[in-house]
Amino acid sequence: MKRQNLFLIVLILMSGAPAWADQGADPFVSDVSEQAVSMFGSAAIADEQLDQLRGRLTVFNSNEVDGQLYNNEAVSNVTGSNFVTDGSFAGMSGFSTVIQNSGNNVLIQNATVLNLQFQ
């Protein structure tokens, strides 16, 4: 397996659930059974609540990142290149993102708000 592909796989596996998934009660999320919890760590929205939001012009988005880096030190490290090559996304589906860094002592914060409108 190419090193670049391994990097992408590790990055995807480490991403896990979003940080906001477990932060208290959400007014748009109903009390549902454990089976309704999605793979993203948040409960499904009840049909009644979804009906209140459906077809509206108002968009509800929340994107909060708050990273901090203190007293870090990099000694005798080598920075280099990383590449996304042909076939890196082979077999993937859905919305894919890539975060790349070739430096040391960095804090990478990434968040995406995806708003789908079906008309």
86-99 pLDDT, tens digit per residue, is 888 888 888 888 88
- From residue 117, give the alpha-carbon distance in Å to each of 48, 83, 110, 113: 19, 33, 23, 13
CB 58 within 8 A of CB 94: no
Domain ranges within the chain, ordered by starting residue: 1-25+54-119
Give the model's pLDDT for residue 18: 54
Give the model's pLDDT for residue 105: 79
pLDDT at 72 over 70: yes
Q: What percent of the chain has pLDDT over 90?
A: 0
Q: Where does 1-119 have alpha helices with state H?
A: 3-15, 47-53
14-51 pLDDT, tens digit per residue, is 555 555 555 555 555 555 445 455 556 677 778 888 77
Give the model's pLDDT for residue 66: 84
